Amino acid sequence: MKRILFDDEHQAYRESVRAFLEKEVVPRYAAFDQAGIVPRDLFTGLGTLGAFGIAIPEEFGGAGVPDFRYNVILQEEAARAAVSPAILGPALHADVCLPYFLDLTTEEQKARWLPGIASGELITAVAMTEPGTGSDLSGIRTKAVRDGDHYVVDGAKTFITNGINADLVVVAVRTGEHPHRGLSLLVVERDTPGFERGRKLEKVGLHAQDTAELVFTGARVPVANLLGTEGEGFFGLTRNLPQERISVAVSGLAQAAAAFDWTVAYVRERKAFGKPIGAQQVIRHRLAELATEIEIAQHYLDRCILALNDGELSVVDAAKAKWWCTELQGRVVDACVQLHGGYGYMLEYPIARAWQDSRVTRIYAGTTEIMKEIIGRDLDLG
């Protein structure tokens, strides 16, 4: 069925995104992949396109239109063009980090940071995970101790997306004992003394994306960089999680849909036993199953996006979308590799890269198990 999510302005924006990706990303994608990072000009390019300013008030350089559908379009077009990993950092910047800067900041902070965020000159990241803790935010141990106008931060974060590129890192730190009410959020800036990047990590996929360790050794962060109130960090984090999860669901489903399309094209062309392999009934039925599940997921996700726009998306519904769309991505991309035969295992085929990239979406932004935990607890079963 026809999607009912988008209006004409979205369509126009989609075309500009598509053109941008064709021109600026596709030809350079192999180089990004090789380098393990995207260049800063990709951020400023997308900033010029308007990809980051959508929700930012006009006074701070944005469009002042908090409509997540524009964000969706970026992810969908990246998937279609087989360059999702290059867009992951920008998407994190726009979908995941920006809300912290919009919702928890003072006017002074807004003025300081939002214009650069909008233009893509200030690249952001968010750092919760540590070597010892991921799913369990209450296990965060990076410590921030007040010392006059500064917090002194000690600890380490890991798996940080945009870890190398980031200029502003929202860091979850421990300012008190209480597992939840002892957490706070600090914005750590690029040249903060005592803040260093650790290794850029080698991953199964997402090769164009810089995922890195961050190390804080007596790093001095001005109190003026505290986001919201001290001790309210946990609530800042969890309040932004629905949008983060929808972002991952969108990207997962878009990559599944792209893989499906490539595969339909492939099985029409590839011949064996005297006919296109798509003429084999088991292949026809397999693709019919995938088509069905992609379509069903898409309609649900589109409804979630509208609810998100209306500020009505619950944590539980976001969790449903997140785990289901990403598990579906896993199933779809895996099946599509199979239908490519040996070619599905060769990196020159986008489906092979899509498979490598796909494995992480069930893990980050909250694992499938944590999503089920959230949904299950809400059922109040005892």
Ligand X SMILES: Cc1cc2nc3c(=O)[nH]c(=O)nc-3n(C[C@H](O)[C@H](O)[C@H](O)COP(=O)(O)OP(=O)(O)OC[C@H]3O[C@@H](n4cnc5c(N)ncnc54)[C@H](O)[C@@H]3O)c2cc1C
Q: Annotated catalytic sites, by residue?
A: 244
Residues 349, 343 contacting (CB under 8 angstroms): yes
From the CB of 221, what's the least distance to ligand X, in Å?
A: 17
Contact between 229 and its own copies by CB under 8 A: the answer reads: no
Q: Which does 379 bind (CB under 5 to 8 A by kind): its own copies, ligand X, none?
A: its own copies
- Residue showing the smallest CB distance to ligand X in the complex: 134
In angstroms, rounded to a whole number, what is the distance separating the alpha carbons of residues 90 and 93? Answer: 5
Which span sits near ligand X by CB under 6 A: 2-10, 219-227, 257-265, 275-283? 275-283
- Distance from chain centroid for Cα 170: 15
Rounded CA-CA distance 324/298 in Å is 11
Closest to ligand X by CB, 32 or 159: 159
Does 136 bind its own copies (CB under 8 A)? Our answer is yes
Which residues make beta-bridge pairs with 130? 133
Total residues interacting with ligand X, rule: CB under 6 A:
35
Token digits of residue 233: 């960090």
Phi and psi at residue 61, to the nearest 5°: 95, 10
- Output the six-digit token pair for 240: 């932004």
Whole-number Å distance between alpha carbons of 87 and 93: 10
Kindly tell me which of 140 and 227 has the beta carbon lying closer to its own copies: 140
Rounded Cα gap, residues 265 and 270, in angstroms = 9
The single residue among 107, 278, 336, 350 that binds its own copies, judged by CB under 8 A, is 278
In the list its own copies, ligand X, none, the entry touching 212 (Cβ below 5 to 8 angstroms by class) is none
* Least distance CB 44 / its own copies (angstroms): 29
18, 39 contact by CB (below 8 A): no
363 forms part of the interface with ligand X (CB under 6 A): yes
**Which range binds ligand X by CB under 6 A, 34-42, 177-185, 188-196, 268-276?**
268-276
Q: How far is residue 274 from each of residues 102, 244, 280, 281, 380, measured CA to CA in Å?
A: 60, 48, 11, 14, 57
Instruction: Choose, by CB under 6 A, the member of 40, 196, 295, 345 that binds ligand X.
Output: 345
Footprint of ligand X (CB under 6 A): 125-129, 134-135, 159-161, 203, 206, 211, 270, 272-273, 277, 280, 282-283, 338-339, 341-343, 345, 360, 363-367, 369-370, 373
